[in-house]
């Protein structure tokens, strides 16, 4: 089981980060033989009205899809979100902006995983566009309308480059439905500007999930 601690940031010289835990953690460090930690930065700002609106809008969509009461779902989804990394209980009235952003990411991922229909595209509900575009590729959901998507390569691989043999890791791509994919081939810059989207670099996980080549082929 993971242990979650809060700490005060003491100093950072560009290489070494020094923090002071709010409680003694020597025993946990020794017992668990900890060699690495996960760092989550919280800037102290509280959840915005826009973040709160997005959260309740997505929960309302899940409620309509599942038939469960929105308040019951809020409690259930909040509990499940907290259980992922053992974070403390929080309130949507005064939680910090970082937790709110991560909860929105969790809700969007939930909708993608279970094909929950939404009243509005989740592009308008995201508070973390980079993570959203990653999830769209991960679940093959169009970044614009959330329909079933194809992979649109922002870094061209067709002319002079063998699609089957090229290594896709590091190339930029975005998930687009057939209609928006065809539009992107005609007016990519204008389409991306209109919807404030862009291609993100494919990592090994995305390549394997999307069945894209990760090793040079002879």
Handedness of CA 5, 105, 90, 77 (dihedral sign): negative
Q: Find all residues with CB under 8 Å of 140, minimum gap 6, and list them.
A: 148, 149, 150, 175, 210
pLDDT the model gives residue 38 = 63
Q: Can you tell me the distance from the alpha carbon of 218 to that of 216, in angstroms, rounded to the nearest whole number?
A: 7
Is 24 in the same domain as 54?
A: no
- pLDDT of residue 39 exceeding 70, the answer is no
- For the stretch 72-100, pLDDT in tens is 999 999 999 999 988 899 999 999 999 99
Domain count, the chain: 3
Mean of the pLDDT values across residues 29-46? Answer: 66
Q: Are 107 and 113 in contact (CB under 8 A)?
A: no
Threshold 0.95, pTM exceeds: no
Q: Are 197 and 143 in contact (CB under 8 A)?
A: yes
Whether residue 121 is contained in a domain is answered as yes
Q: Provide the b/e sequence for 100-135 (b: ≥16 CB within 10 Å).
A: bbbbbbbbbbbbbeeebebeebbbebbbeeebbbbb
Whether residue 50 is contained in a domain is answered as yes
Is 109 in the same domain as 174?
A: no
Residue 216's domain comprises 140-218
Q: Find all residues with CB under 8 Å of 60, minimum gap 6, and list them.
A: 70, 119
Q: Which of 98, 108, 103 is nearest to 133 (CA)?
A: 108
């Amino acid at each position: 089981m993971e242990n979650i601690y809060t700490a005060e940031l003491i100093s950072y010289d560009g290489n070494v980060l020094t923090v002071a835990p709010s409680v003694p953690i020597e025993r946990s460090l020794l017992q668990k033989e900890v060699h690495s930690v996960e760092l989550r930065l919280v800037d102290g700002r509280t959840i915005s009205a826009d973040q709160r609106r997005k959260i309740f809008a997505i929960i309302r969509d899940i409620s309509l899809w599942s038939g469960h009461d929105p308040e019951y779902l809020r409690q259930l989804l909040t509990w499940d979100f907290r259980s992922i990394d053992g974070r403390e209980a929080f309130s949507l009235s005064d939680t910090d902006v970082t937790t709110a952003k991560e909860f929105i990411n969790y809700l969007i991922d939930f909708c993608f995983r279970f094909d929950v229909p939404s009243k509005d595209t989740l592009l308008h509900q995201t508070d973390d566009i980079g993570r959203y575009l990653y999830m769209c590729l991960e679940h093959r959901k169009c970044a614009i309308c959330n329909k079933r998507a194809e992979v649109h390569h922002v870094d061209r691989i067709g002319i002079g480059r063998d699609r089957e043999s090229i290594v896709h890791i590091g190339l930029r791509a975005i998930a687009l439905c057939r209609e928006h994919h065809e539009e992107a081939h005609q007016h990519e810059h204008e389409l991306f500007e209109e919807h404030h989207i862009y291609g993100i670099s494919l990592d090994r996980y995305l390549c394997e999930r999307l069945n894209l080549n990760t090793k040079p082929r002879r």
